[in-house]
Structure 1
Amino acid sequence: MRAVVVNCTLKSAPEPSNTETPADVVAGEPRARGVGITTYRVVDENILPGVQTDMGQGDGWPRIHRSLLDAEIPIVATPTWVGHPSSPAQRVIERMDAILDSEQGRDWSHKTARAMASNLYAVAEALAAQPVPAPPE
């Protein structure tokens, strides 16, 4: 299995990022189970504006796009500013639109949505049966 973390922090590497810390925590569980993790820091990639898979020479998105299609676990980590995702996250959302434009993309998004819905139900059912106490302070 593979997971892709798309870190939408506003800070370039190697500057510490408050978004990276929770993304690492989220990725830690699949990593502990043997899942390969690939991480991209969006601001360090040259992701051109647009809604196509490849916007031309110098576009860094096609590599990330391929990784997302090959991954079973996509993770988009973003800071929020007054309730909105960061501008790099908005760019990622716009570029992911190309995934939905092809028949393969719709199949991928439907498969992912069905898996997510099934997982949400399974987790809700498990939590109803055995609630998890709040972490100690």
Structure 2
Amino acid sequence: MKALVINCTLKPSPEPSNTEALAEVVTARLSGYGVQVSSVRAVDLDIAPGVVTDAGDGDEWPGVHDRLLESEILVVASPTWLGRPSSVAQRVLERMDAMMTETDDEERPVAYNRVAGVVVTGNEDGAHHVISEISGALADIGYTIPGQAWTYWHLGPGPGPDYLDEEEKGRDWAHSTGRTMADNLHGVARALTSHPLGPPG
């Protein structure tokens, strides 16, 4: 079984990413189940705007699309900016929109029988809104969203330290929730592998 993490931080590599650090709690748990985990930092790629799988010369989204189709588990990780998912997360979801019209050999949308979850960080609130927006979009595309398939960390009202700077406040809860997220993603992915959804009625 394979999992892909798409980190939608605004920070290009090799700048440290708070979102990546929290996502690693989830991926470590998945790896413990024997899941092969890979990740991509979307901001490092030239991903053209649009709602197509391939936007032509120079567009690096098709490589990400191929990795999505190789993975039973998807984790979209995003910081909170202005109470919303990052602009990079929005770009990723817009490109994934094309998957709604792509089907497999049994005429099922290609996202069927795949599961997805969300990781969010930020030093101000808005995490539940970001989780809802991303989860709703992924469900529209065809992913199955298990119960409690998310985790987040935020400091609370007002500016302050980031996840990587704050070594105590909220971390135990975010990590515990992240491990539960991984458990639920893996469990439902296994169930769908054994009992896959059929084509839409």
Note whether the superposition's TM-score is higher than 0.5: yes
Q: What is the CA RMSD across the aligned residues, in angstroms?
A: 2.3
Which has the larger share of helix?
A: 1
Counting only pairs closer than 5 Å after superposition, residues 29-68 of structure 1 correspond to structure 2 as: 29-68=29-68
The letter of the residue matching 1:30 is: L
Aligned to 1:128: none
- 1:86 — aligned with what? 86
Q: Does 1:6 align with 2:6?
A: yes
Conserved 8 A contact 1:52-1:98 = yes
Contact 1:8 1:78 in 2 (8 A): yes
**What is the Cα deviation at residue 36 of structure 1?**
0.9
AA aligned to 1:86 is S
Partner of 1:111: 113
Q: Runs of 5+ in structure 1 lacking a partner?
A: 122-134
Q: Give the alignment's TM-score, normalised by structure 2.
A: 0.55
| SS of the residue 2:110 aligns to | helix
Corresponding residue number in structure 2 for 1:130: none
- Indicate the residue corresponding to 2:72 in structure 1: 72
| TM-aligned CA deviation for residue 103 of structure 1 | 3.1
One-letter amino acid of the counterpart of residue 120, structure 1 = G
Distance 2:20 2:108 in 1: 30
Question: How much identity, in percent, do the aligned residues show?
Answer: 48
Distance in 1 separating the partners of 2:108 and 2:54: 18
Displaced runs of 4+ in structure 1, greater than 2 A? 102-117
Instruction: Tell me if structure 1 keeps the 8 A contact 2:6–2:40.
Output: yes
SS at match of 1:96: helix
Please report the TM-score for the alignment, with normalisation by the length of structure 1.
0.79
Query: The residue matched to 1:53 in structure 2 has which SS?
Result: coil
